Structure 1
Amino acid sequence: MTTLAGRPNTALVVIDLQNEVVANAYRCNEVLDAVNVLIERARTAHVPVVWVQHTDEDLKEGSEAWQFVAELAPAPGEAVVEKSYRDAFEDTDLEQVLSRLGVGKLIVTGAQTDMCVRSTLHGALVRGYDATLVSDAHTTEDMTTTGAPTPDAVIRHTNMYWSKQRAPGRSGGVIESKDVDFAPCGP
């Protein structure tokens, strides 16, 4: 249960599914398909979809690389949070967006698993949110040349690691996209 009083709602968070970010991503098409289904289910259930979009020297605002992938697009009225750090809460209006929506539980999807997704999950948990990672709706690219594990190992490890995350009064967790329930997290 979230520690954020009066925040019973759930939001689907879509992190950095931008052209350049997923250009070489592992299982990209499968992940985009899973996220697309989640977005449609969230919209049908009137659950907010919150989009996170990274900007930096490699992802210049307005560039083709910076744009969300063609398969996914924010609907009119859906929040888009611009960020320049891995944790989507750092120096952004994400907290204000979620507060305005009464959100205390996050269902998290996106890219890169071992950078922005994981950092945002931690950022959410330490700020009082319940944060659930969708096991088949996040991805990363192959960075084995820099000493990282293979993408499938990064994803498996992150799913295992986050499945046991807890903090006083709040929880992490991992769920498959088919099992996501967009019901409120409590009164």
Structure 2
Amino acid sequence: MHRSCHDVIAGDILLERIRLLIAKARSCGAPVIYIQHNEGPGEPLETNTPAWHIHSAVAPMEGDVIIQKRTPDSFHNTNLQDKLDRLGVRRLILAGLKTEMCVDTTCRRAVSLGYDVVLAKDAHSTWDSGNLTASEIIEHHNHVLQWFAETMESADIVF
């Protein structure tokens, strides 16, 4: 089923929290890296379709890095690790969509690659799925991912 940012629980709040994290990063010169998921023809995130584009509220600026991916793992078959190495980045702040897929998978992979990972526990989201509400999914992943990464409220994250 096709989903949009309007199906995301508290989507407007999520966008604002991510926007503030990006602003904090930029204010201290930390690199901002976007991960953009690409799917094939007819899929919800088909490349170059409206749903695929990064939301204008958190749009990249000149100098930001955009990594294209095709799997939930932002490192798998991408140049993300190479970009991070060239930028000298060892600490990652994670936020975005989809909690139980891309956020979870990328968080675990980053930790296994030796990165210091902070999950903005109030700046990732999803939608209801099966018998679970989006809130239950987010709460569960925040609990589980605390064993892999530091989990913090976005307002408390310092770059």
Scaled by the length of structure 1, what TM-score is found? Answer: 0.79
Q: CA deviation at 1:84?
A: 0.1
Partner of 1:177: 154
User: How far has the Cα of 1:23 moved from its partner?
Assistant: 3.7
User: Where does structure 1 lack aligned partners over 5 or more consecutive residues?
Assistant: 1-19, 166-171, 183-187
Whether the 8 Å contact between 1:22 and 1:111 is mirrored in structure 2 is no
**Which residue pairs with 1:5 in the alignment?**
none
In percent, how many aligned pairs have the same letter? Answer: 33
Provide the C-alpha distance between the structure 1 equivalents of 2:103 and 2:154, rounded to a whole number of angstroms. Answer: 16
Q: Match of 2:31?
A: 48
Alpha carbon RMSD of aligned pairs, Å? 1.1
Which of the residues 47, 55, 74 maps onto 1:88?
Answer: 74
Q: Which has the higher contact order (CA 8 A, sep 6+)?
A: 1
Stretches of 4+ aligned residues off by more than 3 angstroms: none
Per the alignment, residue 160 of structure 1 pairs with: 143
1:23-42 to structure 2, matched below 5 A, reads 23-42=6-25
Number of residue equivalences = 154
Please give the residue correspondences for 1:1-187 in structure 2 after superposition, counting only pairs within 5 Å.
Answer: 22-57=5-40, 58=43, 59-144=45-130, 147=131, 149-165=132-148, 172-182=149-159
Give secondary structure in 2 for the equivalent of 1:110.
strand
Alignment TM-score, normalising by the size of structure 2: 0.93
- The DSSP-based 3-state class of the residue aligned with 2:51 is coil
Unaligned runs of 5+ in 2: none
